Structure formats: C-alpha cells, structure tokens
Structure 1
C-alpha cells in the first residue's frame, strides 16, 4: 500500500491508486488494518486526520452546504458570462453598438476568465480559498453594474472583462474546494454536479436573460445580475467556511501505519511529518524518470536537493505531528474568516506569490493538462459556433423564430449536457471501481478515458445533424436531436477532462485546473474572433463538417493517452514531485 500513498516510495506513480487493497503486507506491516475505508471496503484517499477541523471530517450537512454554495457560484457565474447576448439587439438599435464590438467583448471575457484564473490562484495557497470567491464576486457585481449602465462600445467590452474575472473562481478554485472536502473515489460524482451547474448556467443563462430583457428592458439583465451578486457576496462572507487545511501537520491513519506510531514517538517519514517552517537543505538529486522502480526524493537523508541543476528547493524540517483528536472545533468566526493564513506564509507573501505563479506555469509541461484543456476547450468552441448559427439563421425563413424561440433551442442542449454529465460522472465512478476490482484493487487514472468513446461518436454526429440540418432546412426534430448530441458531448467531455486530470495529479489540483482554464479559454477566445468569418467563407454545412472532423480528431487523442498515459505519468513523476515540493516548501 505504501507505494500507492507515499510520494517518496521508489515505485510511487501519480494517478495509480490501490483502493481495494486487502491485507497487503508492505515492509512487514499490514497497513490496511488501520486505514479508514468505506463500508464497501474502498480505502479513503486521502486519509483524513483525526482533527474535527479537517474538511474531510466535516459532517454531511456541512459538506453539502458548502457543496451547494460552490454549485450556485458555478451556475451563476456561467450564466452571467453568457447573458450579454440578450441585450445585443437593444444596444445595437439604441446606441449603434455593432455586433462586432460585442463579439470583441466576448473575446475579452474569455481572456478574463483564463488569465485571471492564473493570477488569482496563488491567493488560495497563501490566504485560504475564501478570499478568491469574495474578490471574484465583488468584481462580478461591478461588471454587472457597468453592463446595466452601458451606453458606449467601451462599456460593453470592458464590463465583460470584469464578468469574465468573476467566473475565473469557478474554473479552478471550485474544483480545489471540492477536492478539499471529498475523497478521491467521490470526485467523479462531485464533478458531475459541477459540470451540470456549468451547463445550467451556460444554456439557461441566455434563456433567462432573454425573458428578463423582453418583459422589462435590456438593462435589467445587468441589474438582476448585480442584485444576485450582492446577495451571493453576503452569503459567502457569512456562510462560506474555509476549507484550507494543512493535513501534513497532523497524524492520520496512514502515518500511524507507516511509522508504527506510538504516543510520544516522533514520525520521521516525509509524508508523516508536520511542516516546520525552519528550512534545512537536502542533498538528494532526482533521477531521470522513465522506468518502474525509479528513485524518488529521499527526505530522510541530509544533502543538497537540486532541480535542473540550478533551482534549489528547501524541504520542511520534520517535527512531531499534531494529534488532531485533542483539538476542538474552531468557533464560527474563525471558520468563516475572510483570510486564513497559510502555515508557511512569510510576511505578506509577496515573494511567495510569484513563486506560486511559476509553479502553476510548470503544469504546462504535463501532457494530461493539454489533453484536459483541449477536451474542454474544443467543446466551448462548438458552443460559440452553434450559438452564432442560431442567431444568424433561425430568425430568418423558414423558421422565423422569435427571441424566445431561439432561446428555447438551448433546452435540448442542456438536456444532452445533463445526460453526458451523468454518463461521464456518476456512471464512470461505478465503472472505475468495477475496473479496479478486476485489476487487483488498482485504479488507474486512464480508466475514465473509456467514456470518451461515446463522445467521439455522438459529438461529431450532433454537429453534422445540426449543421447540415440547418443548411438544408431539415425538420426541427432532427436539428434538436443534433443539439442534444452536442450537449451530451459538452457535458461528457468536461467531466472526463476534469476527473482525469484530478486523478492523474491529485496533489496539484489547483495548478492543473489553472493551466486547463488558460488553454480552454484561450482557444475559445481565438475562435470567437474567427467564427463568423469561417461560417461566411465556407458556409454552414462545410463548416460543421470540418468541426465534426476536428471533434473526432481531438477526442481520439484519448486512445494513445489510454495506452501510454501511465508511462507519461511515470515520465512526469519527477516534475510532479518537484512541483509539489516547491509549492509546499515556498
């Protein structure tokens, strides 16, 4: 069991878990006798501490209250990021603001989402998770107010920048918060709800905004978003509990197993020791990854630790672990504090902030990050295309849809997205556990990629049905089924992308999601500016045929990743350990 839980074990591979191990003997110790498991025998990963303040030990109602708040943040920010279209006609008619300008605003929004995710991420490691939600919600409130008062082209563009920044907390921060309170085997189902909330906001947001604009006026799209943002901000300040918890400082069942812990004994294994912020240097060099059984970082020896022969890393000195069972639950004011300083915060953390930025950018070296970003990003591209097609084609004969009619076209897409989320989330959780049972209890991250087969078939089929059906004026039933297929691929791909990456590098969730968000939203930004020109130059039918081919091609990358994913994880093990140690030693 040790090689599946201890990062310093020479045979450790990130993304490989032993979740059904039964009485394995490792170095003469039967670990499983003390490890915490579910009633069905699934080993809990990570192993929780004994502290009542550990988010993994929260009661069910506290977990689901926090989960519900994260879900609402996700759905609401997705909705506000897609509601500007409901005001486009009014802004054009009243103020002469061109559609190209509003298209530019959409591109700026994507840039705001992706790159603010990067610049806000370090705050989660320095001052707790909560501060990012407060900052993003405040900026979203300001963006909604600006949009409600828009009269100039610059207003429609720059307001979207702040709206985009507000959604950035849902691109990486929410996933980190969820991984703080749920175990590894639960993340697939949890991410299903996350993607469903994103789907609800993305597809129902324009519909709701359309009704608001029709029954009041376009400015109330911004006013309503501002009012809800204000209520959400108050809820976050007084109702959002902090989930930052330095579990490395505490005893867990795993530390007791690995070190034979007895009262008064100091644990010496790196994974079993608390963080003492007095630094000491280590002389260990990481060997080049590439084969099973490579040597990792031996923290029990004293020497110089080198990264790329240049970058020195300091590793925390060991000290006796904290017995969390002797702690009391923090009082309410501390649980909902706006700032929760990290245990390794130095001063105001200014230098650490830039070190964390560098660590985040290191994740671009990991191929699974690119697969995740491409899977998620290309689906957002298709979203841009079919929304553009709806707005340009369905107001005209033979359909002659009203604003409501076009908005209703999001409903089959939402239904498909929900089905896709359930398939790639809840169903995949049962599937990977079934696979693990038939793989001697070993769960590999690549098990989730099986579900990309459905996406590779259904996604392109949906694009073809919608694109060709629109060009040739097929019956609306065929076109709506195509939209449902597109929605299925959107939800399924998003769930696969998130779950696979979180399984591959479980200790670098925030960093991986940051890079995924940058890839995803940069791709979306590029195609936002090229979508209309492509449709005009190639025509609807040829464009969607090309998109279907692109969809299949990108999804097909799951096949080589399935076969070579474990080798890639082994190959990137060195970088992964470096990144984790750099982050924890900052």
Structure 2
C-alpha cells in the first residue's frame, strides 16, 4: 500500500479530474476548489458551472431520467420476450418448427447488438435524445409489422426492425458521477435483464386469451405511448464541458427541439470503429466475454428452452409456462440487484475514503464470489430437468442463476464504464455486441444439445464455460490497474 501512496503523490489534480482511474490527494482537492460529493470526496467527472450540464441536474431529475431510460430499455427487451411462451402456437400457425419460432427472439438480440456500433457515432454528435426518439419509432413499427405479418418471413422482418429500434446506446451515464454509478447502472441493467423475464408472465396469458399476434401488438402500443413521453420530457444528456463557457442557457422548450449537431464535430469513418477499438483494452474485453456468457447461460438459455420444457416435462399450458419462465428469474434478479449496484458504490466510496479520495474501479470486482451462483443455478437446473424433479426445484435453480447473473452483469458493466467513462457509449456497445452475437447462437444449439446428451450434461457444460471465463476477472482484481496504466488512455471523446 505504501507503493500506492507514493504513486498517488505524483499525480496532479488535472489528472484526477480528466481520468477516473487516476488517484489524487483529497486535501489538495479542497484547496484547489474541486466540487465534492456529500461524503467530501471529489466528484468525478467534475461538473461545469453551466446549468445545462447534466451533472448539474437535480437529484430527482437524474432519477427520473434513469427511470425513463430504464423503462424504455425494459419495454424494448420485454418486447423480445413476450412471444417466448407462445412459440408452439406461432409455429403451428405459420407451419414452422418450434426451434424456428425461437428465432423470433434470437434475431432481435442479434440486430440489437450489432446496430449499436453504428448508432453511437451519431449519438455522440447529434445527441442521445434524437436517437432514442427515432429508435423508439423504429421499434414500435417493427412490433406492428410482426403482429400483422401473414408469413414467418414477415414476422422475422418485423423482429429485425424491433432489434434495430432497441440498439440505441445507454444515455444516462453523462448525468452520473463515479460514486453513484453502480446504483444508476444497476437500475438500467435490472430493467434490461428483467424485461425478457417479466414478459413471458404476461405473454402466456396474452397468447392464451388473445392469440400470439397480440404478443407483438401490445409491446408496440406501449412503445408508441413511451414515444410521447420521450418527446415531451427527455432532455439531451450529451454535453461538452470543454466548450460550455460560451453556451447560453436554453429554455425547456428549446431543449426539446432538434437543433442539428449538439457537438460541433464531424463524423468520420473511423468513428464507426470506435467500439471495436475499445475491445483492445483488458478492462473492456474480459468483462465483455464473461457478460456474454452470463446473459446467455443465466437468462437466454431458459427463454429458448422454457417453452419446450414447460410443455414436454411439466405438461404446463401457456399461462403456466409463462409463469415458470418469468417468475423465478425475476425474483432472482431482484434479489441480486439488492446486493449489487448500491453495494458496489458503497465499496468504492469506502475505498476512496481510505485512499486519499481515489476510487479504484477494480474494487467493484470484490463482488465476484456472488457471481458463481449463476453456474451453480444453471447446472443444477439441468439436473432437475433431466431427473424430472418437481417444477419447484427447477424454479429455485433458475432464481439462483438469475441472482448470480444480475450481480455479475451490473458489476462488470459498471467496472468497465468506470475505467473508461468518456468512452462509455463504446464500452456499452462492445458489451452488447458480444452479448448479442453469443446469445443469438443459443437458439441453434440449446435444445439439440440437450436432447443429444441430456439436460444435466448440457447445462453443466455451459455453466462450466461461464465459470472458466470468470477466472480472468479474478486476475483483474489484483492486476487490473497496472494493465490499464500499461495500455494507456483512449483519446476519443475526452471532452464529454
């Protein structure tokens, strides 16, 4: 620890403010007039004096923005899962197999991840607000296309549009400082994770009573309603603190109008590779590889196999299948988030109080032991299905897996954005791309693999893969800071 103190003394205040992964001396911060949080620690990043700076929004307005964006993410992801309990109905009606019907979900996931790389350069110039509005319009149209399509190809086309509409990057990071990031991002990841979990609960009832097409109509209608709320209440969160001294204060109405570029910069072809460039950093790549297996083997695998298991193993109807697919994972994720975001904030702030105000991103990874519950829950779920245990045992295992998944996804997402806050959009895109491509493939092999070798072996195998990819994150706890220093700091977007 003495070496860390010596290292801290060599850093300037400017270093600390511009880079969240740089230590500084707290007393020196007070003397130079840095703005502090309620705990007396420096705010990182430092807010400007401009009233339109998102960091200067009131606490309640920040909460509202976080809830609104999280709600939008929730309904986008829920739209992906509403149809899951009705795969058999859709397959019978459109004369396709159940596996082919499950592609309605996986194609949404794929396009939602890939397109985010192309929306980020526009969001970093024209703003996040306009991207959210356009994305919501496209998503709602996609839902309506799937609902009205007379053919399987038409349904898939609508799902592609659905995925594109859900690809807009996270827009709440600009209003959040490092010391509270876990709490706010935890709310967002909880919404993203639980959207596909809660949707089947309602989806089963909807399909049973109204038909599977209403599993598309209803989320589309909700997205259309959300569009109205976005247009009249969502502010722009893209803001440059470097050039804000010459900016005038805008009225509320002016903030809601589209004025073209928010930042006066050009979009260059290299900007579209910004997300891929961030993948070279260990603090982004390693969390992304684990995140993709967590989302797949702690959530999506239950979605693509649940309809088959519910009908074939437990003889459930559509309503019961929806409850089986949704309730355990929702409960598990709720419990998981109760021990994730705010706890990691408490840990990193406690660390800062003992280390001269320095918030080390790697301390968020102290929650790693809880993530092993994902592998435990997934493996034992497979055993319960293969052994034909009572459905309550399988449900408990799903909840345990969801708990570990929620803790882990919140933890690694927050850690990666802590390490590279100015590039948080690109960081999120890398994570979502890895998740989308990996999760997309689960629909092709989850059921065939399980039928070939048994659910016990197949689910234990994927659990072992997730557990193996956890080991590099353990290494980051000890060497992550040195690796980040060795790799250097990205030069993109240092003004936001």
**TM-score when normalising by structure 1:** 0.78
Aligned to 2:109: 110
Larger Rg, first or second structure (1 or 2): 1
Q: CA RMSD in A?
A: 2.3
Mapped to 1, the partners of 2:129 and 2:371 lie a distance apart of 35
- The Cα shift of 1:98 comes to 2.6
Aligned to 2:255: 335
| CA shift digits 1:516-565 (9 cap, x unpaired) | 11111111112322222211222101111212211211122211111211
- The Cα shift of 1:577 comes to 3.6
> 1:14 and 1:242, CA in 2 relative to 1: closer, same or farther beyond 3 A?
closer
1:229-244 paired onto structure 2 within 5 Å:
229-244=223-238
Q: Does 2:478 correspond to 1:578? A: no
Mapped to 2, the partners of 1:490 and 1:240 lie a distance apart of 30
Aligned to 2:316: 401
> 1:245 and 1:14, CA in 2 relative to 1: closer, same or farther beyond 3 A?
closer
Q: Does 2:30 correspond to 1:22? A: no
Secondary structure of 2:359's partner?
A: strand
Mapped to 1, the partners of 2:268 and 2:130 lie a distance apart of 14
Q: Does 2:34 correspond to 1:35? A: yes
Secondary structure of 1:193's partner?
A: helix
- The Cα shift of 1:108 comes to 2.2
Match of residue 439, structure 1, among 355, 363, 384: 355
Mapped to 2, the partners of 1:404 and 1:532 lie a distance apart of 21
Match of residue 502, structure 1, among 408, 417, 433: 417
Aligned to 1:554: 469
1:192-211 paired onto structure 2 within 5 Å:
192-211=186-205
Mapped to 2, the partners of 1:360 and 1:43 lie a distance apart of 29
| CA shift digits 1:134-161 (9 cap, x unpaired) | 1211111111111111221201221111
The answer as to whether partners of 1:113 and 1:165 remain within 8 angstroms in 2 is yes
- The Cα shift of 1:375 comes to 2.3
1:93-242 paired onto structure 2 within 5 Å:
93-169=92-168, 173-174=169-170, 177-242=171-236
1:141-540 paired onto structure 2 within 5 Å:
141-169=140-168, 173-174=169-170, 177-250=171-244, 321-322=245-246, 327-328=248-249, 330-345=250-265, 349=266, 352-382=267-297, 383-397=299-313, 399-409=314-324, 410-456=326-372, 458-540=373-455
Aligned to 1:3: 11
Mapped to 2, the partners of 1:340 and 1:418 lie a distance apart of 40
Mapped to 1, the partners of 2:455 and 2:374 lie a distance apart of 17
Secondary structure of 1:81's partner?
A: helix
The answer as to whether partners of 1:117 and 1:514 remain within 8 angstroms in 2 is yes
Mapped to 2, the partners of 1:166 and 1:5 lie a distance apart of 41
- The Cα shift of 1:13 comes to 6.7
The answer as to whether partners of 2:108 and 2:163 remain within 8 angstroms in 1 is yes
> 1:353 and 1:103, CA in 2 relative to 1: closer, same or farther beyond 3 A?
farther
Mapped to 2, the partners of 1:111 and 1:101 lie a distance apart of 15
Mapped to 2, the partners of 1:17 and 1:77 lie a distance apart of 39
The answer as to whether partners of 1:7 and 1:577 remain within 8 angstroms in 2 is no
Mapped to 2, the partners of 1:556 and 1:245 lie a distance apart of 37
Count of residue correspondences = 486
Aligned to 1:268: none
Mapped to 2, the partners of 1:418 and 1:448 lie a distance apart of 19
- The Cα shift of 1:226 comes to 2.0
Secondary structure of 2:441's partner?
A: helix
Mapped to 2, the partners of 1:102 and 1:353 lie a distance apart of 39
Mapped to 2, the partners of 1:454 and 1:167 lie a distance apart of 29
Q: Structure 2 stretches of 5 or more lacking a match?
A: 1-7
The answer as to whether partners of 2:112 and 2:165 remain within 8 angstroms in 1 is yes
Which has more helix, going by share of residues?
2
| CA shift digits 1:488-512 (9 cap, x unpaired) | 1221111012101011111110111
> 1:111 and 1:388, CA in 2 relative to 1: closer, same or farther beyond 3 A?
closer
Secondary structure of 1:247's partner?
A: coil
Mapped to 2, the partners of 1:71 and 1:394 lie a distance apart of 30
| CA shift digits 1:301-325 (9 cap, x unpaired) | xxxxxxxxxxxxxxxxxxxx54x7x
The answer as to whether partners of 1:4 and 1:13 remain within 8 angstroms in 2 is no
Q: Structure 1 stretches of 5 or more lacking a match?
A: 25-29, 251-320
- The Cα shift of 1:167 comes to 1.7
Mapped to 2, the partners of 1:540 and 1:528 lie a distance apart of 15
